[in-house]
Structure 1
Amino acid sequence: MKLTLVYENLRIALGSIRTNLLRTILTILIIGIGLTALIGILTAISSIQAAISNKFTGMGANSFTIENRGINVQIGKRKLRNKRYGSITFREAMQFKDEFDFPAVVAVSHTATGAATVKHESDKSNPNVMVIGVDENFMDVEGHTILRGRNFTQQEIKDNRYVAVLGSALAKKVFPNSQNPLDKVIVSGGAKYRVIGVLEEKGAGFGSQSDNILLLPITNVRQVFSRPNMSYKIVVKANDSQQVDAAISEATGVFRIIRRLTVHDEDNFNVNKSDNLSRLLIESTGQVTIIAFGIGVITLLGAAIGLMNIMLVAVAERTREIGIRKAIGASSKAIRNQFLFESIIIGQIGGIVGIVVGVMVGNLMSMVMKSNFIVPWLWVIVGALVCLAVGVLSGLLPALKASKLDPIDSLRYE
C-alpha cells in the first residue's frame, strides 16, 4: 500500500514537471550552473594537482638533491628559501658517490649552459639548448627513458668520450623529417659528438625544458664547458621510498665529513627533497578550493531560493487541484509528499546536469596539462547531497503549505 502511494506521488510529480516544462528547465539550469561552477573548478584544481604530482613523481618521489644552493620559491605566504654556499667540487661529488654506502643510486651532474646551439650539417637548433654533464646514473634518478639507442657506460664517462644523448625536442629540431640520429655527428660548444641515444618525450612544465636538452659525459663537460668555480649537483634515489629520511641523514653525515665540517659547524650545503616544491604547489591550491566551494554554495543558495519561489507559485496555481485531491480522499501527508517529491526530482536532475557538465568542463584543464581524466568522486557525492538538501529545503515550505490547505476553500479558489 505504501509503495503504491509513493509510486502515485512520483507519477503525479513527474506529470506536473512535464506540464510546467519551461519553468522546470529554467530551475534545472539555475541549479546545474551553480553545480557546474563548483564541480568544474574543483575538477580543474584536481587536474592541476595530478599534473604536479605526476611531474614531480617523474623526477623521483623517493629522491633528494645535494647542492650548494637551495630552491628560492614563494607562493602566496608559503616559502622555500635556502642559503647559497660555496661550490661543490667534482672531487667532493665523486668522493661522495664512492663512499655513500646505502641502498640507493647516486648520480652526479652539472648544468653547463642553457643557451647552447646544436648543429648537424645544415640543420641547427635555437640557442636555447640546455647542456648537462651527467654520469651513467643520471637518467635513472631523473626519470628519463631511452627511446632510441642506449645510455652512457661507465667507461665512456671515465674516458671522457665525445658521445651524446639528445632530448626528443632537440632530436626533432636537428634531425627533421624523421631522420635517425644514431651514430650521426653533431657539433656543440666547438666540439663534435657522436649521438648514441634519444630520450622519450617527457614534457615541459614548471620552468623545466626536459625535452630540449643535450646530455654529455660529465668529464667531457668539465673540459669543453669549463669555467671557474663549477659546482656539481648530487642526486640520490633511495631504493625504498620509506627510507628517504634515513638516506638523507646518512648522506648528510657522509657529506659533512667530505666537506671537513666539525660537530660545531652548520651544514654548508643544501639537501632538497624532490617533493618539497610539489607539496608547496599543491598546498597553494587549497585556498582556491575554498573560494570555489564558496562560489558554488552561494550559487546553489540562489538556486534554492529560486526553486522555493517556483514551488510556492506552483502551490498557488494548483490550489483547486489540491482541493479536488483532498475531496476524493487524499491525506495531507500525500499532498505534502507530492510537492516534496517534485522539488527533490527537479533538484536531482539539476544536480546530474551540473555534475556531468562540471566534470567535462573541469577536464579541459586535464587536456591542457596532459594529465589523466579526473572524476572528483568526493565532490560529486557532496554535490549530489547538496542538491538533495536544496530540493528538500526548497520544497518543504511549499509542501507544508499545500498540505494545510482547506479542501472547501481550495475548491472555491479561482
Structure 2
Amino acid sequence: MTYTENVKLAIQSITSNRLRTMLTALIIAIGLSALVGILTTLDAVKKSMTEAFSSMGANSFTIRNRGTGIRIGGSGQRQKPFKSIRYEDALAFKERLVTPAKVAVSVVATRGATAKFSTEKTNPNINIQGIDENGLNSQGLELALGRNFSLAESQSGNNVCIIGSEISEKLFKSQSPLDKIINVGNTRLKVIGVLVRKGQSMGFSGDRAIYVPLLKAKLINSSSNPSYTITVIVPSNDIMDNVIGEATAQFRNIRKIRVNEPNNFEITKSDAMAQTLFEQLNYIVLGGIAIGVITLLGASIALMNIMLVSVTERTREIGIRKAIGANPAVIRKQFLLEAVMICLMGGTLGIFMGIALGNLISFGMGGSFIIPWEWIFGGFAVCVLVGIVSGYYPAKKASKLDPVEALRYE
C-alpha cells in the first residue's frame, strides 16, 4: 500500500472522529503555543533592546553617577548611586576632552508634564529632557521638520523646544507646529523642530518627549539635585579604549578624585550594556524552552492515550484490513501518519496562537510585529517528532494484533 493510500485512510479516520481529533489537536496546540509564545516574546524583547541601544550609536559610551541598574536574579538590591554629576562638571568635561569624539550632555528636567496649545492639551505623560547641540545625534533622533539647537541656544537657555511627533499630532493636528508657542507647566516654549516618529523602546517613547536647551532644563528642573548624563560618541571603535582612558582621567580630575581612590562614576559602553542583557536573556530562553518542552511532553502523553483508545475502538477494522492482505508495516505506517497529521493540525493552530500571544506582549511593550521563522520551522519539526514518539507504541500495538482475534472483537 502506498503512502498516498495511507494518507487517505488517515484523513478518513480523522474526519470520522472529529471531536476526538479536535480535542487531541487542541492539546498539541496549547503545548506548542506556550513554547512559540514564550520564544516570540523573548525575540521581541531582544529586538526592542537592540533598537534602544542602537539609538545610542554603536561606538559610544556614557558617564553616569550610577550603573545601568540592569540585573536579573541576584539579591535584588539596587545599585548605590555616587554623588550627582553637576551641570558645571558636565560642561567642564565637554570642554576638556580633546579627542576626535563628540560629547553630548543631557538631563531629565521633568516627568509627567502636560503640554498645551490653544484649546488642545496632552495627557500628563510628557517627559522634558534637556540636551545640547549633540543631544539628538547621541540618542539617534532625527528631525522631520525644523532645526536643531545651536551651541548658543544650548548655553543661553532660550525658550525654544523640539517636540516628538505624537505631541505635534495631538496639539497641532494638520497645521505646522513650527514657530508656535506651547505651554509646558509654567513655561512658554517656541517650537523650532519636530522629530521623526520612532516608537517606543525599553518603555521610553521619544514621540512623547519635549527637548529643551540644556541650560533651560537646569532652570526648570523639578529635582533639587539632578544628575547629568554624558554621552561620548567615538568615530571609530579602534580608538574606543583610548578615548575611554582619556575620558576617565579627565573626569577624575574634574571630580577631584585622589590617585588611590576608586572612580565615583560609572562608564558604560552601549554595546557592552546590550551584550550583558542578551547574555542574561539566554538563561530565560532556556527556561522558556524547558517550560514548552514540559508542556509538550504532557501533550504527547495525552495524544498517546487517545491513539491507544483509537486502536482499541478500531480493532475489528484492523482485523478486516489484515484479513484482506495488509501487513503489519502498513498498519503501523497508517497509525503513525494519523498521529503525525493530528500533531501538524494542532501544531499549525499552536504556532499561530503562539505568534499572536508573543506579538500581543510585544505591542504592549511598544515593540513591532515579529515573525520568528526559526521557531515556526522548529515548531513543525517538533510536531512531527511528537507525532512519531506518541504514535509509535499505539501503531506497534495495532500492527501486532492477531487478525482472527481482531475480527472476533466486539
Same topology, TM > 0.5: yes
Q: Which amino acid aligns with 2:134?
A: N
Whole-angstrom distance in 1 between the partners of 2:98 and 2:356? 50
Aligned residues of 1:70 and 1:81 also touching (Cα < 8 A): no
Deviation at 1:190, TM superposition (A): 6.5
1:176-207 alpha-carbon deviations (Å, 9 max, x no partner): 44443322345668665433212234445656
Q: Which residue in 2 is equivalent to 1:329?
A: 325
Q: Does residue 1:107 correspond to 2:104, yes or no? A: yes
TM-score by length of 2: 0.83
Q: Which amino acid aligns with 2:266?
A: N
Q: Which residue in 2 is equivalent to 1:135?
A: 132
Whole-angstrom distance in 2 between the partners of 1:186 and 1:35? 52
Deviation at 1:140, TM superposition (A): 0.4
Q: Which residue in 2 is equivalent to 1:238?
A: 234
1:270-291 alpha-carbon deviations (Å, 9 max, x no partner): 2133456655665665565455
Alignment of 1:175-194 (within 5 A): 175-186=171-182, 193-194=189-190
Aligned residues of 1:75 and 1:280 also touching (Cα < 8 A): no
Whole-angstrom distance in 1 between the partners of 2:316 and 2:126? 80
Describe the SS at the equivalent of 1:17.
helix
Describe the SS at the equivalent of 1:196.
strand
Q: Does residue 1:76 correspond to 2:65, yes or no? A: no
1:364-384 alpha-carbon deviations (Å, 9 max, x no partner): 223333423222333333332
Share of identical aligned residues, percent? 46
Deviation at 1:75, TM superposition (A): 4.3
Q: Which amino acid aligns with 1:367?
A: F
Aligned residues of 1:116 and 1:129 also touching (Cα < 8 A): yes
Q: Does residue 1:52 correspond to 2:49, yes or no? A: yes
CA separation of 1:166 and 1:323: change in aligned 2, threshold 3 A: closer
Aligned residues of 1:156 and 1:217 also touching (Cα < 8 A): yes
Describe the SS at the equivalent of 1:255.
helix
1:218-269 alpha-carbon deviations (Å, 9 max, x no partner): 3445567699876543111223457645543332133234445454332232
Q: Does residue 1:14 correspond to 2:44, yes or no? A: no
Deviation at 1:136, TM superposition (A): 0.8
Q: Which amino acid aligns with 2:140?
A: G
Aligned residues of 1:167 and 1:200 also touching (Cα < 8 A): yes
Q: Which residue in 2 is equivalent to 1:311?
A: 307
Alignment of 1:12-411 (within 5 A): 12-72=9-69, 74-77=71-74, 82-114=79-111, 130-158=127-155, 161-171=158-168, 175-186=171-182, 193-203=189-199, 206=202, 208=204, 210-221=206-217, 231-240=227-236, 244-274=240-270, 289-411=285-407
Whole-angstrom distance in 1 between the partners of 2:120 and 2:315? 83
Whole-angstrom distance in 2 between the partners of 1:35 and 1:16? 24
Aligned residues of 1:82 and 1:270 also touching (Cα < 8 A): no
CA RMSD in angstroms comes to 3.5
Whole-angstrom distance in 2 between the partners of 1:190 and 1:306? 65
Whole-angstrom distance in 1 between the partners of 2:134 and 2:22? 61
Describe the SS at the equivalent of 1:147.
strand
1:293-335 alpha-carbon deviations (Å, 9 max, x no partner): 3443333223222322232233233333333333333222222
Deviation at 1:103, TM superposition (A): 4.0
Whole-angstrom distance in 2 between the partners of 1:318 and 1:227? 77
Whole-angstrom distance in 2 between the partners of 1:329 and 1:118? 83
CA separation of 1:229 and 1:395: change in aligned 2, threshold 3 A: closer
Whole-angstrom distance in 2 between the partners of 1:171 and 1:100? 36
Aligned residues of 2:103 and 2:134 also touching (Cα < 8 A): yes
Whole-angstrom distance in 2 between the partners of 1:303 and 1:116? 51
Query: Any gaps of 5 or more consecutive residues in structure 2?
Result: none
Structure number with larger C-alpha Rg: 1
Aligned residues of 1:73 and 1:81 also touching (Cα < 8 A): no
Describe the SS at the equivalent of 2:161.
strand
Count of matched residue pairs: 410
1:347-377 alpha-carbon deviations (Å, 9 max, x no partner): 2222222112221232222333342322233
Whole-angstrom distance in 2 between the partners of 1:259 and 1:164? 31
Whole-angstrom distance in 1 between the partners of 2:347 and 2:114? 55
1:45-79 alpha-carbon deviations (Å, 9 max, x no partner): 32233223323332445332213344445543276
TM-score by length of 1: 0.82
Whole-angstrom distance in 2 between the partners of 1:227 and 1:406? 85
Whole-angstrom distance in 1 between the partners of 2:306 and 2:113? 68
CA separation of 1:412 and 1:157: change in aligned 2, threshold 3 A: closer
Whole-angstrom distance in 2 between the partners of 1:78 and 1:60? 32
Deviation at 1:28, TM superposition (A): 1.3
Aligned residues of 1:347 and 1:388 also touching (Cα < 8 A): yes
1:116-153 alpha-carbon deviations (Å, 9 max, x no partner): 66665676677775443322101100122222210012
Aligned residues of 1:76 and 1:284 also touching (Cα < 8 A): no
CA separation of 1:70 and 1:285: change in aligned 2, threshold 3 A: closer
Whole-angstrom distance in 1 between the partners of 2:305 and 2:391? 9
